[in-house]
Amino acid sequence: MNGTSCGEANGTASGTRRWLADVVVTPKPGVNDPEGETIRGGLRSLGFGVDDVRAGRFIQLVVEAPDIGEAERSVTSMCDQLLANPVIQTYAITIVEGEASGTGPSGGAR
Amino acid sequence: MRSWVAVISFPGSNGDQDALSALRDEVGVDARLMDHRETTLDGVAAVVLPGGFSYGDHLRCGAIARFAPVMTEVRSFAARGGPVLGICNGFQILTEAHLLPGALLRNRTLRFHCHWTHIRFERHGNAWLSNVRPGEVLRLPVAHGDGAYFADPETLDRLEANGQVVARYCEQDGHLSPTSNANGSSRSIAAVSNEGGNVVGLMPHPERATNPLIGGEDGLRLLRSALEILAVPA
Write out pLDDT tens, residues B26-46. Answer: 999 999 999 999 999 999 999
A35:B106 CB<8 A: yes
Mean pLDDT rounded to a whole number for chain B: 95
DSSP 8-state assignment for residue A46: T
**What gap in Å lies between CA B179 and CA A88, rounded to an integer?**
24
Beta carbons within 10 angstroms of residue B153's beta carbon: 10
For residue B161, give every residue at least 6 positions away whose Cβ sits within 8 Å of its Cβ, in sequence order, or none: none
Its pTM stands at 0.89
**Residue B96 banded pLDDT, cuts 50, 70, 90:** very high
Interchain CB contact of B184 with A (< 8 Å): yes
pLDDT of residue A110: 37
pLDDT at B33: 97
| Residue burial B65-90, b: 16+ Cβ < 10 Å; e: rest | bbebebbebbeebbeeebbbbbbbbb
Q: What pLDDT, on the 0 to 100 scale, is given for residue B146?
A: 96
Strands (E) in B84-185, as ranges, are 84-87, 103-105, 113-121, 137-144, 148-150, 165-170
Does B192 reach chain A within 8 Å, measured CB to CB? Answer: no
Whether B195 is catalytic is: no
Phi then psi for A48, rounded to 5 degrees? -80, 140
Q: What single letter denotes the amino acid at residue B169? A: Y
Q: What is the pLDDT of residue B124?
A: 74
| Distance from C-alpha of B184 to C-alpha of B217, rounded to nearest angstrom | 26
> How far is B78 from chain A, CA to nearest CA, in Å?
21
Asked if A29 reaches chain B (Cβ–Cβ under 8 Å), the answer is no
Q: CB–CB of B59 and A82 under 8 A?
A: yes
ipTM of the complex: 0.83
Instruction: Show residues of chain A in contact with B106, CB under 8 Å.
Output: 34-35
Contact B106 A34 (CB under 8 A): yes
Measured CA to CA, the distance from residue B206 to residue B158 in angstroms comes to 26
Q: What is the set of domains in chain A, with CATH numbers?
A: 3-97 (3.30.1280.10)
Which among B179, B192, B216, B211 has a CA at the least distance from the CA of B92?
Answer: B192
- pLDDT digit string, tens, across residues B103-126: 999 999 999 999 999 999 998 778
Q: Is B109 on the interface with A (CB under 8 A)?
A: yes
B207 is catalytic: yes
Confidence of residue A14 (pLDDT cuts 50, 70, 90): low
Is the per-residue pLDDT at A59 higher than 70? yes
Task: Provide the 10 A C-beta neighbour count for residue A60.
Answer: 16
Verify whether the Cβ–Cβ distance B108 to A85 is below 8 Å.
no
| pLDDT the model gives residue B99 | 97
B150 closest CB neighbour out of A31, A82, A83: A31
Count of pairs with CB atoms under 8 A, one residue in A, one in B: 33
How many angstroms separate the Cα of A98 from the Cα of each of A3, A52, A62, B15?
A: 20, 34, 8, 44
B24 to chain A, any CB pair closer than 8 A? The answer is no
| CB nearest A32 (choices: B59, B60, B148) | B148
Asked if residues B83 and B46 have their Cβ atoms less than 8 Å apart, the reply is yes
Per-residue pLDDT band for A15 (boundaries 50, 70, 90) equals confident
pLDDT at site A99: 79
Tell whether A81 is within 8 A of chain B (Cβ).
no
Q: What is the largest CA-CA distance in chain B?
A: 47
Mean pLDDT of B171-179: 96
Closest of B140, B135, B141, B147 to residue B189, by C-alpha: B147
Q: Per the CB < 8 Å rule, is A35 touching B110?
A: yes
Comparing A67-81, B4-18, B118-132, B186-200, the range with the smallest average pLDDT is B118-132
Whole-number Å distance between alpha carbons of B41 and B83: 12
pLDDT score at A100: 60
Determine which one of B88, B96, B118, B170 is catalytic. B88
Instruction: Please indicate if any CB of chain A lies within 8 Å of the CB of B195.
Output: no
> Between A38, A82, A88, which is nearest B105 by CB?
A88
Distance CA(B50)–CA(B19), nearest Å, equals: 7
Q: What is the pLDDT of residue A1?
A: 42
Provide the mean pLDDT of chain A: 84
Distance in angstroms (rounded) separating the CA atoms of residues A30 and A79? 20
- How does pLDDT run across A92-104, given as a tens digit for each residue? 999 999 876 555 5
* Amino acid identity for residue B144 in this structure: H
Q: How confident is the model at residue A109 (pLDDT cuts 50, 70, 90)?
A: very low
- Domains along chain B? 4-231 (3.40.50.880)
For range B11-16, the mean pLDDT: 96
B62 vs B167: CA distance, rounded Å: 21
